[in-house]
Amino acid sequence: MQQKTFAFFPEAAFGPALNSVGIAQAIERMGHKAVFLSDPGFVSVYKDYGFEAHGVNLSEPMPAEQMAKFWEDFINEHIPNFRKAPIDQIDNYVKECWEAIVDSAKWAQKDLPGILAQIKPDVISVDNVILFPAIKQHGVPWVRIISCSENEIEDEAIPPHLSGMSENDSEGHAAFRAKFNEVIKLIHDDFNTFLAENNEEPYPIGQFCEASPHLNLMLYPRQARYKRSVPLDPAQYQFLEGCVRQEDAYEVPTFKKNNDGPLLYISFGSLGAGDTDLLNRLITLMGNSRYRALVNVGDYKDDYSDIPDNVIIDRWFPQPSVIPKMDAVIHHGGNNSFTECLYFGKPAIIMPYVWDGHDNAMRVQETGHGFRSDRYDWTDEEMIEKIEACLNDAALAAKLNATSAHMQSENGQEKAAKLLVQLAGRSQ
């Protein structure tokens, strides 16, 4: 097959961005070209990995540095809401997210037709929770990547997306769906007006995107999936069983204290790093423990002082190279962190704060791959007990080893790339 061009358009967050990087790396190993469409604030991320990238305005144009900080500032303003249950975040954080997301689709429609005409992609992959009409209408196959929790594709028998509820809490599921639909109705009506203006049919209440008729790629491994009332058709939906990008090798530094102690990695992602009070609390806990810890503090490194000798902080760690060296991980439930821990067989304690982190935290616990923890309502003794279980529970270790072996044998990156290339070949 002659070289094809594959366009990737992930949302402006590191989880979907880096997941798409992993697939794009595999595409290029097969001899094809990968190009990124991107929020201007993320263009440099893709260029740093060596990809061609084109900015797509998703809001009123502003300097790239200001654009890159938009979601960081948005998250920091909502830190008080992180203490609330997911259902109580609907009328504040979730509502404001959907307002911004709908606006982003409207802005993207201005730039996308011209950029797509310039790139001339053979296949377009979108990792986002909202439809971009220009992509659906461009005339080449488009693929939806679901790098968030699997329940982004709804089913009445499973917990609603963003709810963080148990799979057995059907009464809770109904209450969450009802409140979500009530709160977002005006936003949804506005989005349906935008769809009509762009020759698209309206969506039912609660829906902002649709499954691609060509191909939908999902990350969840078999061992963590929900039991659906309507199984997903494998001709349209393919599970990648995880999808982990390649990063440069990482050498664990020498610690001045506890250098032979169990090694933990703590990260709440680039956006969650603004919760410095919580990270300081965990750093203090680590300092009084037998462990060593690497802690991702994002852009807030200068906010920390008196770091214990058994803790090393940094602005960023190459996670896929770091996690294999860890004994346990404490994270926020982002889907990359969630699947990377499973892929490398590492027990996790998930302390969610927003979005699908709630779902992934519940899922890691319900499937026996780790523990969910309240973000703030815990004692030092309770956290140490969970960490010790991560380090010493033989049944947990056996389950993680089996899941890891399965995921690594599937090679999600290569699987995704082959599926995309096959799709390009069928559309010739």
> First-to-last CA distance in the chain?
10
Burial 397-413 (b: 16+ CB within 10 A, else e): eebbeebbebbeebbbb
Question: Considering only the top CATH level, what class is 5-245+410-426?
Answer: alpha beta
Q: How far apart are CA 37 and CA 108, in angstroms?
A: 10
What is the structure's pLDDT at 76?
Answer: 80
What is the structure's pLDDT at 428?
Answer: 62
Fold of the 263-408 domain: Rossmann fold (3.40.50)
The CA-based angle 319-217-21, given to 5 degrees, is: 35
Q: Would you list the domain boundaries of the chain?
A: 5-245+410-426, 263-408
Residues with Cβ within 8 Å of 73's Cβ and at least 6 positions away in sequence, in order, are none
Q: Is the separation of the CB atoms in 143 and 208 below 8 Å?
A: no
For residue 10, count CB atoms less than 10 angstroms from its CB and return exposed for 0-12, middle for 13-18, buried for 19 or more. buried
Same fold, 5-245+410-426 and 263-408: yes
Q: How far apart are CA 69 and CA 44, in angstroms?
A: 14
Ranges of H-type helices in 217-372: 269-272, 276-287, 319-322, 335-343, 357-366
Q: Is the separation of the CB atoms in 9 and 124 below 8 Å?
A: yes
Task: Specify the DSSP class assigned to residue 252.
Answer: P
The structure tokens 């200068």 sit at 302
The number of C-alpha atoms within 13 Å of 77 and in the hemisphere containing its C-beta is: 10
What is the structure's pLDDT at 363?
Answer: 96
pTM assigned to the model? 0.93
Ranges of H-type helices in 328-427: 335-343, 357-366, 380-392, 394-410, 412-426
Q: E strand or H helix at 148, and its extent? A: none
Q: Which two tokens stand for residue 381?
A: 């003794």
Q: How far apart are CA 41 and CA 73, in angstroms?
A: 13
Q: How far is CA 426 from the centre of its chain?
A: 30
- In order along its 428 residues, the chain shows pLDDT tens digits of 799 999 999 998 888 999 999 999 999 999 999 999 999 988 999 999 999 999 999 888 877 667 666 767 777 888 889 889 999 999 999 999 999 999 999 999 999 999 999 999 999 999 999 999 999 999 999 999 998 899 999 999 999 999 999 999 999 999 999 999 999 999 999 999 999 999 999 999 999 999 999 999 999 999 999 999 999 999 999 999 988 888 889 999 999 999 999 999 999 987 788 899 999 999 999 999 999 999 999 989 999 999 999 999 999 999 999 999 999 999 999 989 999 999 999 999 999 999 999 999 999 999 999 999 999 999 999 999 999 999 999 999 999 999 999 999 999 999 999 999 999 988 66
Q: How far apart are CA 217 and CA 156, in angstroms?
A: 21
The structure tokens 């880096």 sit at 18
What is the structure's pLDDT at 79?
Answer: 83
